[in-house]
Structure 1
Amino acid sequence: MARVSQEHLDARRRQILDGAARCFARNGFHATSMQDILREAGLSAGAVYRYFRSKEELIEAIAEEAFGEIRAAFDDAARLDPPPTPDVLLGRVLRHMLIEKVPGGDGQAFARLLLQVWSETLRNEHLAATLADGYAGLRLAWATLVDAYRAAGLMDADVPADHVARTLIATAQGFIAQQALFGDVRVEAIEDGLRALMSMHDPEFS
């Protein structure tokens, strides 16, 4: 029997994850059955269960992948000299996650999926641990970027790096929530808004 290549295995796993993500975004996590995912992915039960034993494992894998891609974008940015400013970086990451990465560019559907992941952590300890690890990684990545901003003379050093990190993560989360709930929120809006806030100054020190 011919040995299955790693490339084939990776492609099959990708096929399953994409099918599950479409189902979850369209029908919600709890209203989606494994049979729905099998039909969406066009695969047999045996093929899917070889990779994932449950919906919970699928949603955890989707969450881990999303955090991994976002963390990689921040790590890449921290190596640039000078690093991209928060408006540019957040715009780049959100555009990738909500437009470029999503089939058909349906950012609202993917944003709804992320909101479901967040809410599911309230009842799923394993997913909560995955989310906590991802959040900690993002805070560390942003804190590293703050150090890079300071080294480049772009930011004052009187605010703890973790405070900046938490604020910018909250900004991204708020944008995703708006996209999920209301739709039609353009990434340019957050880029422009952050740029305007970054331009503010205290007139007493002008």
Structure 2
Amino acid sequence: MATKAEARQREILDAAAICFARRGFHQTTMDDICREVKLSPGSVYRYYRSKDAIIAAFVEDDSRDLSDLLRQVGQQSDLWQGLDWLVDQLLAAISSPLYAELSAEIGSETMHNPRIASLVRQSDQANHQALIKLFSLAQQRGQLATNLDLPQIADLIIVLIDGLTWRKGLYPEHDLTLYATDLKHTIKYLLSGTRF
């Protein structure tokens, strides 16, 4: 159960996401976020000193969520069922309100803000390593061939998910579940070791 402080942080982040999606990162002020969450500036600044700190919290939350999902896949006995479940979870997350818009705002900010770029790269590298760790575990269990280029496969899977996130931002009306079956097949193909 979330503590009062954690619940308050979540309220502030939810309000910030709405503001960023509505006006963009640079056009949004901390006062806008205070008004949206209906808290005084002092209350908001107690948790987040700047918009950069809010973006950092979004990045950390996203990385932690993916790490939790990958850990759950690793606990399943059947890798393939676990990966199918993972794809469903990721597509649901990308399809949730504001996720794609917020991802686009964060992505844009990485082009101009070295601090945010560094945070996003660290998160991406952590996600990449977590995928490699999951696939290495599957190799140890005899569920994957041992001659796979795991770093490259992990890169390609992340690219696929990033691409779908971008598409959802560009076409919010698209139902991403339509891609689920093909995405699952593509990931299985990449992990099969089959080459043309």
TM-score by length of 1: 0.82
Of the three residues 68, 86, 90, the one matched with 2:87 is 90
Tell me which structure has the larger Cα radius of gyration.
1
Distance change (3 Å), C-alpha of 1:94 and 1:39: same
Instruction: Give the structure 2 partner of residue 160 of structure 1.
Output: 149
Residue number in structure 1 paired with 2:166 = 177
- Choose the corresponding residue for 1:195, options 173, 180, 184: 184
- The answer (yes or no) to whether the contact 2:87–2:184 under 8 Å persists in 1 is no
Residue 152 of structure 1 deviates from its aligned partner by 4.3
Query: Which aligned segments of 4 or more residues in structure 1 are displaced greater than 4 angstroms?
Result: none
Shift of the 132–195 alpha-carbon distance from structure 1 to 2, 3 Å rule, reads closer
- When residues 177 and 124 of structure 1 are mapped into structure 2, their CA distance, relative to the original with a 3 A threshold, is same
Letter in 1 for 2:138: Y
Deviation of 1:199 (Å): 6.2
The 1-side partners of 2:179 and 2:101 are apart by: 18
* Aligned match of 2:14: 18
Percent of aligned pairs sharing the same letter: 28
- Number of the residue aligned with 1:127: 116
Moved more, 140-149 or 181-190: 181-190
Give the whole-Å Cα distance in 2 for the aligned partners of 1:194 and 1:142.
Answer: 16
Please show how residues 20-59 of structure 1 align to structure 2 within 5 Å: 20-59=16-55
1:71 aligns with 2:60: no
Q: How many residues align?
A: 191
| Distance across 2 between alignment mates of 1:88 and 1:187 | 15
Question: Does structure 2 conserve the Cα–Cα contact (< 8 Å) formed by 1:91 and 1:187?
Answer: no
- Classify the secondary structure of the residue corresponding to 1:50: helix
Residues 28-79 of structure 1: CA distance to partner in whole angstroms, max 9, x if unpaired? 1111111110111000011011111111111111111111111111122112
- The residue type paired with residue 61 of structure 2 is E
CA RMSD of aligned residues (A): 2.5
Aligned ranges 1:144-155 → 2 under 5 Å? 144-155=133-144
Q: 1:187 to 1:153 in 2, by over 3 A?
A: farther
Runs of 5+ in structure 2 lacking a partner? Answer: none
Per the normalisation by structure 2, the TM-score is 0.86
The answer to whether the Cα contact below 8 Å between 2:110 and 2:117 also exists between their aligned partners in 1 is: yes
Q: CA deviation at 1:145?
A: 1.8
- Amino acid aligned to 1:171: L
* Cα distance between partner residues in 1 of 2:178 and 2:137: 25
